[in-house]
Amino acid sequence: MNDIEKNQDAASVASYSKQDAPAYDDEPSAIGSVHEHKAGKWQNFKDSFKPADLSQYDTTGMTEVEKAALATANSPLSRGLKPRHLQMIAIGGSIGTGLFVGSGTSLATGGPAALLIAYGIIGVMLFCTVHALGELACTFPVAGSFATYSTRFIHPAWGFAMGWNYTMSWFVVLPLELVAASITVNFWQDMNHTDINNAAWIAIFWALIVCINLFGVKGYGEAEFVFSLTKVVAILGFCILGIVLVAGGGPHQGYIGGKWWHRLPEGTVGPRGGAFAHAFKGVCATFVSAAFAFTGTELVGLAAAETENPRKMLPSATKQVFWRILIFYIVSLTLVGLLVPFDEPHLLKGSSSVDATASPFVIAIRNAGISGLPSVMNVVIMIAVLSVGNSAVYGFSRTIAGLAAMGHAPKWFAYIDRQGRPIVGILVVSFWGLFAFICAAPVATQNAVFGWLMALSGLASIFTWGSINLCHIRFRLALKKQGRTTRELVFTAALGIWGSVLGLTLNCLVLIAQFWIALFPIGAPKPTAEAFFNAYLAAPVVLFFALVWLVWKRDPWLSIDQLDIDTGRRDTDLVKLEAELEQERYELSQRKWFYRVYKAWC
C-alpha cells in the first residue's frame, strides 16, 4: 500500500466515522469520550480514563502521524461557538494589557515612529499568519489546531515541541493574570486610601474564571463576547476622543498635531519628544513588545473544532483580523504617539505591567485634563486581564486535549465529558491558578518567580506563528504535488503561499532581533546570562522538546508527497464540495459590487 492510498484510507475512515457515528448529543462516539454501555456508571467513568481506543477504526497500514490525524479529527469537543462568539473573539479577543499598558514601554523605548514601524510589521506578519491559519482551520477543523498541523505537515518532533511550547505558555499565564487583575484594583484603593489584601481579589477572580470555563465552550464564548465588546467600545471611544484632542478640542492643551514627533529645543521644560528614542535598536526592542500585544490572535484557529459551522464562520472571522490590526492597533497607537511624548515620565513609573497610571491611553486622557475617564480605562484594563486569564484556561485545556489524542501528552488529558469539555485540562490549569497566592510572598520573590515563568513563554507566540506559516507552505506544496487545486478549499489565504513565506520570514527576523536585544539590552553596559535567558529561554526549551522526541521516537522526515491532506475534513465529498463552492462563487458574482467588496474584506 503506497502513501497516497493510505491517505485515502484515512480520509474514508474519517468520513465513515462522521456519517455513521451516533449524534453527539445522544452518544459521543469519539476518542477520549465517555461511552454509554450497559455497564454501570462507575465502570463507564473508569473506562473513560483508559488510553484512547482506535479499535472502532480500521487503522491497518496507517502511520503514527495518520493515526494522530484521525484522533484529533474525531475529538468529541462541543461545537457550541456561534458566529457572534467567533466574530468577537476575532475582533477583540487578543486585545489586552500588551496594547493598553505595554505599548507605553514600547513608546518610551522606541519613540512614536518606532512604535508604528514595529506594530505595522508585526501586523503584516499576523495578517499573513491568520490567513494561513484560516485556510488550514477551515479545511481541517481538528482538535489541537496548529499543534496538530505541525505534527502532520512538518514533523512529529516539531509538533510535540510546538504543542508543549504553546501549552506551557498558557499554563504559566493564568496565575500571572490573576495577580495582575488584583493589582488593577489598587488603582482605586490608592485613590480611596483603603488597603484590602490582594489575595482576596485573587480568590474572587479565580472563582469567576473557573466558573466561566465550567460552563463549557458556550460559557467561554459568552464571556469573551462581553469582554471583547467592552474592549472594542473602549478603543473606538478613545480613537474618537484622540482625534478631537489632536485637533485641539481638549479643554486645556489646544492644537497638538505632530508636535511630539519633533524634538523640542534644548532647555525646554518638561518632555521634548521626538520620532525615535533609540534609533534602530529601539525599533528592534519594540518588535518583541508588539508581538506580545498580538498574542492570542491565533485562538480563532484553536476554536475551529468547537464551531457550529467552520466552513461558514471561520472565513468571516479570519477577515476581521485585518480591521482589528488596522483600527485597534495602528490607528489607536498613531493617536497615542501624537498625544504622548516618548519621554513622558509616567510611562516608566508603573509598578507593574497592568498599572493604569503607566498606560499611554490613561496618560493621554489625564494630560488633556479630563477627569473620570482614567477610572473607566482602568476598568477596561481589568476586563482585558480577566479576558486573558479566561483564554489561558481555554487555550491550555484544548491544546493539551489535542496533544493527548495524538499521544504527545498523558492520555487522561484526552478525557472529554458529555458536555464536550476537556475537564481534566480545565481542572489542572485551574488548580495551578492558585499559585497566584504567591502574592503573599515578598515582592522580590514574586518578581523572581514570575520573571522566570514569563521567560518560559516569552517567545511562544513567535514560534507558533512561524510554524503556522510553515505548515501552510507545506500544505500548499502537497496539494500541488498530489495533483489537487485550491478550488476544493472552502477559504484560501488572501496572499496565498507567498503570504506565508513573508510571514515566516518576518517571524525569523523578529527572533533574530530578540536575540540581539537579549544579548545587548538597551541601557545595559554588558551582556549578562540572566538577562539573555530571561528574554530567550523559550528557544532552548523548544529545541530540547524537539530533540527529546527525535531521540525517543526517531520518526522519519515527511516528504511533500507523503503529507495527509484529507483526514479531518468535515466536507469529505470533494466533488460535491467543489460543486457547492462553485455555485456560491457564481451567486456572489451576481450580487452588487459593494456587496462583493464587503464579502471580500468582511
Three-state secondary structure readout of 378-444: HHHHHHHHHHHHHHHHHHHHHHHHHHHHHCCCCHHHHCECCCCCCHHHHHHHHHHHHHHHHHHCCHH
Q: Looking at residue 283, what is its pLDDT?
A: 87
On whether residue 594 sits in a domain, the answer given is: no
- What are the φ/ψ torsions at residue 80 (nearest 5 degrees)? -105, 0
> Is residue 593 assigned to a domain?
no
What pairs with residue 307 in β-bridges? 81
Each residue of 404-457: pLDDT tens digit?
888 888 888 888 887 778 889 999 999 998 888 877 666 667 667 777 777 777
Give the pLDDT band (50/70/90) at residue 187: confident
Residue 595 CB burial class (10 angstroms; 0-12, 13-18, ≥19) = exposed
Place of cell 518578581: 447
pLDDT, position 63: 64
pLDDT at 18 over 50: no
What backbone phi and psi angles, to 5 degrees, belong to 35?
-95, 140
Contact yes or no for 93/233 (Cβ under 8 A): no
Q: Are the beta carbons of 550 and 154 closer than 8 angstroms?
A: no
CA-based end-to-end distance of the chain: 44
How would residue 270 be classed by pLDDT, with cut points 50, 70 and 90?
Answer: low
Is 454 among the domain residues?
Answer: yes
Q: What is the pTM of this model?
A: 0.84
Residue 272 counted as domain residue: yes
Average pLDDT, whole number, for the chain?
80
Please tell me the predicted confidence (pLDDT) of residue 292: 81
Question: Lowest-pLDDT range, 91-95, 149-153, 261-265, 348-352?
Answer: 348-352
Residue 35 lies in a domain: yes
Q: Which three cell numbers stand for residue 89?
A: 473573539
Look at residue 587 and tell me if it is in a domain. no
Q: How far apart are CA 507 and CA 513, in angstroms?
A: 10
Q: Which domain holds residue 368?
A: 3-571
**C-beta neighbour count of 599 within 10 angstroms:** 13
Q: Which residue, 150, 394, 116, 447, is CA-closest to 261?
A: 116
Overall number of domains in the chain? 1
CATH of the domain at 218: 1.20.1740.10
For residues 131 and 418, is the Cβ–Cβ distance under 8 A?
no
List the beta bridge partners of residue 416.
Answer: 33
Residue 27 has pLDDT above 50, yes or no: no
In a domain, 586, yes or no: no
Measured over all CA atoms, what is the biggest interatomic distance in the chain, rounded to whole angstroms? 86
Please determine, for residue 216, whether its predicted confidence score (pLDDT) is greater than 60. Answer: yes
Percentage of the chain lying above the pLDDT 70 cut: 81
Has residue 152 been placed in a domain?
Answer: yes
